[in-house]
Amino acid sequence: MRTLSLVFRTILLTGLLLAVGSPSYADTRDDDIQELREQIRQLAAKLDALERKQATQAAAPVTTLAGSATVVTATNNPATPQVTLDEKGLRVVSPDKSYALHLGALFQLDGRWFFKPHSVPGIDTFVARRARTVFDGTFEKIYSYKLVPEFGSGSSPTLLDAYVDAAFSDALQLRFGRFKAPVGLELLQTEGMGPFAERSLVTNLVPNRDLGLQVGGSLFGKAVNYTVGVYNGVADGANSSNADFDNDKDVIARVFAQPFDKLKDSILTGFGIGISGSLGREKTASALSSGYKTDGQQTFFRYRSSVLADGDTWRISPQAYYYHGSFEALSDRPLCRLQDRSERVLIVRRFGDEFAGNVSLGSRRELVP
């Protein structure tokens, strides 16, 4: 555009010189020359204004709609990151895709009304079951992180997830920090993707979030997923604190297969089956659950204060799910064993035979590998 303006100015000035220097126009009046000069000045000012406007538009971000998402990009500036805002939250990606930042949120309000009379006192109330902000992202392409503070369902804020991943390949991925222990299938599903705000009774029997280091990945074209790791060890349904309560650690392993995942037109595409388990040695009362709770978060069983764990403990959980269209089904069957200080088997728990089915109106689902 600047080249065209220079050419245009040159033509105007050349015409002016020819007009002034030609003998046939030697007697042109001075006011005509001044008028021509003024017109050239006005045209030059308009060209400068147009150039400035185009430069501003090229540098400014352009907002476009991509489906339900609002994408803000810089069309003529490759050094400007891409910003996306949609139902999943706010996402910022660097131009070379090496760095990304995502900001999301989850809020679930629960209403609890209890039939009366009942043996366990319960208050009819609304409760902010979950109120979380989600910070996750990637850096240097192969590393990722996640931070999830919780502001609901408790008297004070807590940190649920805080971990770093290193994805060297599909078959080899490392995770270190505080995250969900890979035992219960239902528990591994993201809270916002479940059909209900509360989990089933099965989650009373499996560890929740724990501190540790795990190795995992997918094999055979992502048909089989494996996870194995070392963790501090927590009680049934419990979350790890910032430190272990004894010197012993738990080993957890899980294998899950989706053998028909590549058959896109088959009714078996959404079928998955696997098994998980944990093995460790726990001590003191901290290794025991503080209480097993109902869907309304009312404690229906707890150990006596005199009971202390001291011995080998293990869990094993066969699991499977099936998704097809709006139908989904999930099964978890955890079996657990714990020992007390007299080396007697304290309890073998198997009220965790779960089979849950659901038909949803939308297509929101999460296949946990």
> For residue 32, what are its two tokens?
């005509």
Helices (H), the chain: 2-21, 30-59, 185-188
Give the span between the Cα atoms of 208 and 222, in whole angstroms.
26
Q: Regarding predicted confidence, which is higher, 11 or 280?
A: 280
Are residues 48 and 122 located together in one domain of the fold?
A: no
The pLDDT value given to residue 327: 86
Are residues 198 and 130 located together in one domain of the fold?
A: yes
Phi and psi torsions of 353, nearest 5°: -80, 105
Are residues 47 and 129 located together in one domain of the fold?
A: no
Give the span between the Cα atoms of 256 and 217, in whole angstroms.
11
The pLDDT value given to residue 77: 59
**Taking the C-alpha atoms of 260, 262, 268 and 271 in order, what is their torsion angle to the nearest 10 degrees?**
60
Whether the Cβ atoms of residue 298 and residue 257 lie closer than 8 Å to each other: no
> For residue 297, what are its two tokens?
């978060």
Are residues 15 and 144 located together in one domain of the fold?
A: no
Give the span between the Cα atoms of 205 and 349, in whole angstroms.
8
Are residues 115 and 9 located together in one domain of the fold?
A: no
The amino acid present at 75, given as its one-letter code, is T
Whether the Cβ atoms of residue 329 and residue 200 lie closer than 8 Å to each other: no
Domain count, the chain: 2
Are residues 165 and 259 located together in one domain of the fold?
A: yes
- Parent domain of 351: 98-359
Whether the Cβ atoms of residue 292 and residue 301 lie closer than 8 Å to each other: yes
CB-side exposure of 106: number of CA atoms within 13 Å? Answer: 17
pLDDT, tens digit (0-9, with 9 covering 90-100), for 261-282: 888 888 999 999 999 999 988 7
> For residue 251, what are its two tokens?
């080993």
The pLDDT value given to residue 61: 54
Whether the Cβ atoms of residue 177 and residue 139 lie closer than 8 Å to each other: no
Give the span between the Cα atoms of 35 and 57, in whole angstroms.
34
The pLDDT value given to residue 304: 79
Are residues 30 and 153 located together in one domain of the fold?
A: no
Residue 9 is assigned to a structural domain of this protein: yes
Residue 80 is assigned to a structural domain of this protein: no
∠ Cα 125 131 132 (to 5°) = 165
Per DSSP, the three-state class of 217 is strand
Share of the chain above pLDDT 90, in %: 30
Phi and psi torsions of 270, nearest 5°: -90, 20
The pLDDT value given to residue 66: 47
Residue 70 is assigned to a structural domain of this protein: no
Identify the CATH number of the domain in which residue 129 sits. 2.40.160.10
Residue 36 is assigned to a structural domain of this protein: yes
Are residues 196 and 290 located together in one domain of the fold?
A: yes
Domain's final residue, options 59, 74, 108: 59
Are residues 42 and 173 located together in one domain of the fold?
A: no
Are residues 47 and 146 located together in one domain of the fold?
A: no
pTM: 0.73
**Taking the C-alpha atoms of 70, 74, 75 and 80 in order, what is their torsion angle to the nearest 10 degrees?**
-130
213: pLDDT strictly greater than 90: yes
Q: Regarding predicted confidence, which is higher, 139 or 53?
A: 139
Give the span between the Cα atoms of 34 and 12, in whole angstroms.
14
What is the distance of C-alpha 36 from the center of its chain?
Answer: 67
Domain's final residue, options 59, 83, 108: 59
Residue 146 is assigned to a structural domain of this protein: yes
Residue 68 is assigned to a structural domain of this protein: no
Are residues 31 and 170 located together in one domain of the fold?
A: no
Are residues 54 and 156 located together in one domain of the fold?
A: no
Give the span between the Cα atoms of 146 and 136, in whole angstroms.
4
Residue 169 is assigned to a structural domain of this protein: yes
The amino acid present at 323, given as its one-letter code, is Y
Residue 114 is assigned to a structural domain of this protein: yes
pLDDT, tens digit (0-9, with 9 covering 90-100), for 47-99: 888 877 776 665 555 455 444 455 555 445 567 888 988 888 899 999 888 89
Give the span between the Cα atoms of 280 and 313, in whole angstroms.
5
